[in-house]
Amino acid sequence: MYDLIIIGGGPAALSCALVVGSAEQKEYMKDKKIGIIANQKASDMNAAVLNNLYGVEQGVKGKDFLKDSLKQLDMFKSIEKLNPDTVSSVLDKGEFYEVKTDKDSYQAKNVVLAVGHSKKVKDIEGLDKYVEKHVNTPAAMERFALKNKNLLVDEKGMFVAGVLSGCSSQVSIALGTGADVAVQLLTKWNGGEFDHHHDK
């Protein structure tokens, strides 16, 4: 049983994983089992060249940014990189969510959906009741979001991050939502008392 599975390999998912991982020395994190399905094949970043991302050199290719961020995650041993396959279902099983890909099946108490805002989100079984039209993109683009309240989709432990949360499509915003979800999870695991982690 995982305490958390993060689904996605773009800026939102990786930012969430990095902020959660950065707190791994905390007492309440000791027995936490955390995995990320960091599928990067369909990230919008694969086509991007970055000129307006804070702290990132002008002209960096989005796909290089993705590769480097995934490598950065290696510093946190508490985050397990699971097979980066396509998730086909996220089902509410009462006590946990069941996350399935073509090859694997996982049980998790919390899940973070950060799979982008394309119509492919509709192919993930179990999410249909949350899917709505994305309002912060031109209507002609046919983008989608998951209904959420401050990034929480389902009280039990389903969160959304990145453009799928309904925010507009800027890397810095996606990163912020991923970090926000991470802080919400750290607070939850800290018994509801606000917590986050700052490195020296």
Ligand X SMILES: Cc1cc2nc3c(=O)[nH]c(=O)nc-3n(C[C@H](O)[C@H](O)[C@H](O)COP(=O)(O)OP(=O)(O)OC[C@H]3O[C@@H](n4cnc5c(N)ncnc54)[C@H](O)[C@@H]3O)c2cc1C
Q: How many CB atoms lie within 10 A of CB 192?
A: 8
Angle, vertex CA 102, rays to CA 97 and CA 103, nearest 5: 90
Which residues fall within 8 angstroms of residue 173, CB to CB, at 6 or more apart?
Answer: 167
For residue 109 the two structure tokens come to 């108490």
Task: Please pick, from the candidates 6, 36, 171, 181, the single residue that binds ligand X as defined by CB under 6 A.
Answer: 171
Stretch that binds ligand X, among 71-79, 131-139, 166-174, 186-194 (CB under 6 A): 166-174
CA distance 67 to 75: 14
| 3 to 42: interface string for ligand X, x by CB under 6 A | ----xxxxxxx-----------------------x-xxxx
Four-residue CA torsion sign, 91, 159, 32, 64: positive
- 136 sits near ligand X (criterion: CB under 6 A): no
Instruction: Considering the complex, state which of residue 60 and residue 183 has its C-beta at the smaller distance from ligand X.
Output: 60
Tokens of 170: 């800027």
CB of 127 to ligand X, least distance (A): 10
Pairwise CA distance, residues 171 & 168, whole Å? 9
Helix, strand, or coil (residue 83): coil
Nearest partner of 197 among 189, 66, 46, judged by Cα: 189
User: Can residue 53 be called a binding residue for ligand X (CB under 6 A)?
Assistant: yes
Query: Among 109-117, 138-146, 149-157, 179-187, which window interacts with ligand X (CB under 6 A)?
Result: 109-117
Counting residues that bind ligand X (by CB under 6 A) gives 36
Q: What is the nearest approach in angstroms of ligand X to the Cβ of residue 175?
A: 8
- The yes or no reply on residue 87 touching ligand X (CB under 6 A) is yes
Radius of gyration of the chain from its Cα atoms, rounded to whole angstroms: 16
Residue 140 is a binding residue for ligand X (CB under 6 A): no
- Which residue from 124, 153, 179, 185 is in contact with ligand X, where contact means CB under 6 A? 124
Q: Which residues make up the interface to ligand X (CB under 6 A)?
A: 7-13, 37, 39-45, 47-48, 50-53, 62, 86-87, 114-116, 120, 124, 162-163, 169-172, 174
